C-alpha cells in the first residue's frame, strides 16, 4: 500500500538548506494536535449522550455542562421500559430486520454477481447495464406508489415491508461481481469435471472465495438496515412493530421534558451498530480504501 503519498517531505534540491527536523517536529505536533481536536469534536456529542442516559434530568440541562453524572441512575432506562412495555420489541424488531435483510441481500447479490462474472448467457451485457442503470433511479420518485403498493399487499406494519422492497441493490451486485471475477475459471472447470452441479459450484467453490467481499457488503448492509429511518417511518406505525429509529424519533417531541428517557432509547439504539462496526472496522475500511476502487 502506498502511504504518505501527497505531502511527503523530501529534501528537495531547493529546500536542502532548511532546518528540516525542527520543521518536521512542528508539523507533526500541529497536524496531530488538529486531528486530536477533531477527534474530540467527533466524540464529545456521543459521550454527552451516553453519560446523560444515566443522569437525572436536572443534570442534562445545565450551565456549565455536567459531563459525568454525580449520582448515576438507571431510572431513565427503567422508565423507558415501564412507560413503553413493548420497548424491548423495538430492539428485537430492528435486529431481526437488519439481520434478515442483510443475509438476504448479501446472498442475492452474491448469486447475481457470480452469474454476471462467471457465466456467458444471452443478453448478459444488456442486463448488466440495465441492472446498473437501476441505481440511477432515486428512491424519492417511487416512495408514494411504493407505500400504496405495500398497503395493497397487506404488508403494512409487517417485517416484509421493510425487508423485501430494497433487499438487494445494484451496487451490491456490482461489488460482488468484482469479487467473483477473481474466482479462477480453472477451479470451476475442475469442479465441473469432478461432477459438481452448477449450484455446488456456487455454494461450495465460489462462496468461500467470495467471503471477504461478502463481509464488507454485510457490514454496510447491516449498518444501513439498522440506521434506516424514512421508509420504516412510513410503513411501520404500530408501536410494537417500530424499529428503534422510528421509536426514538417518536420520542423526540412529546418526551422532551423527560430527556433522559429519550437519550436512553437513543443510547441503546446506537450501541449495537457501533459494536458491529468496531468489530469489523478493519475489513470495512481497508475494503473500502483499497480493494474495490483499485484496478477496476
User: Does 8 participate in binding another protein (rule CB under 8 A)?
Assistant: yes
CB-based burial of residue 7 (10 Å sphere; 0-12 exposed, 13-18 middle, 19+ buried)? exposed
Q: Whose CA is closest to 111, among 178, 177, 182?
A: 177
Using CB under 8 A, pick the residue from 54, 84, 90, 226 that binds another protein: 226
Using CB under 8 A, pick the residue from 71, 148, 185, 193 that binds another protein: 148
User: Does 230 participate in binding another protein (rule CB under 8 A)?
Assistant: yes
Residue 74 beta carbon to another protein: minimum distance, rounded to whole angstroms: 19
Using CB under 8 A, pick the residue from 96, 99, 160, 164 that binds another protein: 164
Of residues 68 through 107, those in contact with another protein by CB under 8 A are none
User: Does 137 participate in binding another protein (rule CB under 8 A)?
Assistant: yes
Segment interacting with another protein (CB under 8 A) among 78-86, 95-103, 207-215, 228-236: 228-236
Q: Which is nearer to another protein, 124 or 154 (CB)?
A: 124
User: Does 6 participate in binding another protein (rule CB under 8 A)?
Assistant: yes
Contact 267, 49 (CB under 8 A): yes
User: Does 5 participate in binding another protein (rule CB under 8 A)?
Assistant: yes
At 242, list the grid cell: 417500530
Using CB under 8 A, pick the residue from 71, 136, 185, 254 that binds another protein: 136
What is the residue-wise DSSP string for 28-70? HHHHHHHHHHHHHHHHHHHHHHHHHTTS-HHHHS-SS---S-S
User: Does 41 participate in binding another protein (rule CB under 8 A)?
Assistant: yes
CA angle 154, 159, 161 (to 5 degrees): 50
Of residues 259 through 288, those in contact with another protein by CB under 8 A are 262-263, 266, 269-270, 273-274, 277-278, 281-282, 285, 288
User: Does 126 participate in binding another protein (rule CB under 8 A)?
Assistant: no
Contact 210, 147 (CB under 8 A): no
Cα 271 → chain centroid: 13
d(CA 175, CA 277): 19
Q: Which is nearer to another protein, 52 or 93 (CB)?
A: 52
Amino acid at each position: 500500500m502506498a502511504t504518505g503519498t501527497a505531502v511527503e517531505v523530501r529534501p528537495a534540491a531547493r529546500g536542502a538548506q532548511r532546518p528540516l527536523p525542527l520543521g518536521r517536529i512542528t508539523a507533526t505536533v500541529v497536524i496531530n494536535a488538529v486531528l486530536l481536536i477533531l477527534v474530540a469534536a467527533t466524540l464529545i456529542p456521543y459521550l454527552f449522550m451516553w453519560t446523560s442516559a444515566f443522569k437525572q434530568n436536572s443534570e442534562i440541562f445545565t450551565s456549565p455542562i455536567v459531563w459525568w453524572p454525580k449520582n448515576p441512575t438507571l431510572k431513565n432506562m427503567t422508565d423507558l421500559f415501564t412507560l413503553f412495555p413493548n420497548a424491548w420489541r423495538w430492539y428485537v424488531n430492528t435486529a431481526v430486520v437488519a439481520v434478515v435483510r442483510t443475509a438476504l441481500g448479501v446472498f442475492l447479490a452474491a448469486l447475481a454477481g457470480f452469474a454476471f462474472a462467471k457465466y456467458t448467457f444471452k443478453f448478459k451485457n444488456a442486463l448488466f447495464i440495465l441492472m446498473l442503470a437501476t441505481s440511477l433511479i432515486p428512491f424519492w420518485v417511487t416512495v408514494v406508489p411504493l407505500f400504496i403498493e405495500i398497503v395493497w399487499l397487506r404488508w403494512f406494519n409487517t417485517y416484509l415491508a421493510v425487508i423485501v422492497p430494497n433487499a438487494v441493490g445494484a451496487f451490491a451486485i456490482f461489488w460482488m461481481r468484482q469479487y467473483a471475477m477473481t474466482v479462477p475459471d480453472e477451479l470451476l472447470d475442475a469442479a465441473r469435471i469432478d461432477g459438481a452441479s452448477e449450484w455446488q459450484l456456487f455454494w461450495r467453490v465460489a462462496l468461500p472465495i467470495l467471503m471477504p467481499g461478502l463481509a464488507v457488503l454485510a457490514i454496510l448492509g447491516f449498518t444501513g438496515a439498522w440506521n434506516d429511518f424514512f421508509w420504516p417511518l412510513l410503513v411501520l406505525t404500530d408501536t410494537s412493530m417500530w424499529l428503534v429509529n422510528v421509536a426514538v424519533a417518536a420520542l423526540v417531541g412529546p418526551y422532551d421534558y423527560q430527556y433522559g428517557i429519550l437519550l436512553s432509547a437513543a443510547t441503546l439504539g446506537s450501541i449495537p451498530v457501533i459494536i458491529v462496526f468496531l468489530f469489523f472496522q478493519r475489513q470495512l475500511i481497508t475494503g473500502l480504501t483499497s480493494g474495490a476502487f483499485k484496478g477496476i
